[in-house]
Amino acid sequence: MTPSELRRGLRQRRRELRKAMKHLRRQARERAQEVPALRRERRRRMVRRLALMAVLLLLASLLRCDCGPESEPPPSGPDAEVQAKPKLATPPAPLKRHPPRVQVAATPRGTFAGASRAPPAWLDELRLQVAARSPRLSACFAGSQGPGALRWAASVDPAKGTVSDHQLELVGLGDDLPREQRDCLVRALSAPPYKLSAAQAEAIPDRVGMVIEF
């Protein structure tokens, strides 16, 4: 092949390539234009289908309403409320049980005098004699700080002048008395016996109480 023939062949090849490129570009443009058109067409079809389904549902609901039995109109007037409310069966009322009546015969009661008992006449004498024993009572607290006051209760036999069943308590102090101090106080309060002038008044011992200060 001569150089002129080669040149002609190359030129023809270039022309064919240019035509092929133009054809490819044209196809690409057509495809690009077809894609949105397809999307639009699909949307239109979907909208049509939805509209058709809505119309069919509306027709079906209308057919159901027309074919059903006609409902009777509610009764009007004063008897309407009575017919509307169903009657409920009321349970029977429970029987009332009355307690049995029992008659109790009244028993007569004796009358008692309500006057309070007067203090014995020898109580002042006993207080004076107990106060006279304060030095002996203070000696029971030798070596320790004395409480200053003592609450004493005992059973007194006025005929014999003896005391028993002692109950001792320190005034203002919650501590219990030691056994040695308690025995000392009982001895000082018990011996010697008290001399009470009204010994013949009562034979039964009386329970008395007082506060002793020393």
The verdict on residue 42 lying in a domain is yes
In one-letter notation, the amino acid at residue 49 is: R
pLDDT tens, 184-202? 999 999 999 999 886 555 5
Choosing from 63, 85, 102, the residue where a domain stops is 63
Choosing from 11, 31, 63, the residue where a domain stops is 63
User: Any idea of the CA torsion for 55, 61, 64, 66, to the nearest 10 degrees?
Assistant: -80
Instruction: Name the one residue in this structure whose structure tokens are 């607290």.
Output: 141
Give CA–CA dist 75/79, Å, rounded.
8
pLDDT for the residue 183? 93
The pLDDT > 70 percentage for the chain reads 65
Q: Of the given ranges (30-34, 53-57, 136-140, 147-151), which has the lowest mean pLDDT? A: 30-34
The verdict on residue 88 lying in a domain is no
Give CA–CA dist 112/115, Å, rounded.
9
pLDDT for the residue 79? 52
CA distances from 64 to 21, 88, 146, 148, 155 (A): 65, 35, 111, 110, 109
pLDDT for the residue 75? 58
The verdict on residue 109 lying in a domain is no
pLDDT tens, 11-51? 888 888 888 888 888 888 887 776 677 778 888 888 888 88
The verdict on residue 4 lying in a domain is yes
Query: For residues 90 and 111, which has the higher predicted lDDT (pLDDT)?
Result: 90
- Are 167 and 152 in contact by the 8 Å Cβ rule? The answer is yes
Q: Kindly give the pairing relationship between strand 162-170 and strand 149-157.
A: antiparallel
What DSSP line would sit under 97-138, residue for residue?
Answer: PPPPP---PPPP------PPPPPPTTHHHHHHHHHHTHHHHH
pLDDT tier at 132 (50, 70, 90 boundaries)? very high
Same domain, 127 and 59: no
Choosing from 63, 80, 99, the residue where a domain stops is 63
The verdict on residue 132 lying in a domain is yes
Same domain, 209 and 127: yes
Same domain, 139 and 208: yes
Name the residue range of residue 141's domain.
123-213
Among positive and negative, which fits the CA dihedral 137, 143, 149, 152? negative
Total tally of structural domains belonging to the chain = 2
Mean residue pLDDT of the chain comes to 77
The verdict on residue 133 lying in a domain is yes
pLDDT tier at 130 (50, 70, 90 boundaries)? very high
Residue 106 confidence (pLDDT) above 70: no
The verdict on residue 182 lying in a domain is yes
List the alpha helices (DSSP H) in the chain: 3-67, 79-84, 123-132, 134-139, 179-190
Same domain, 134 and 207: yes
Residue 97 confidence (pLDDT) above 50: yes
The verdict on residue 38 lying in a domain is yes
Over range 168-181, report the average pLDDT: 80
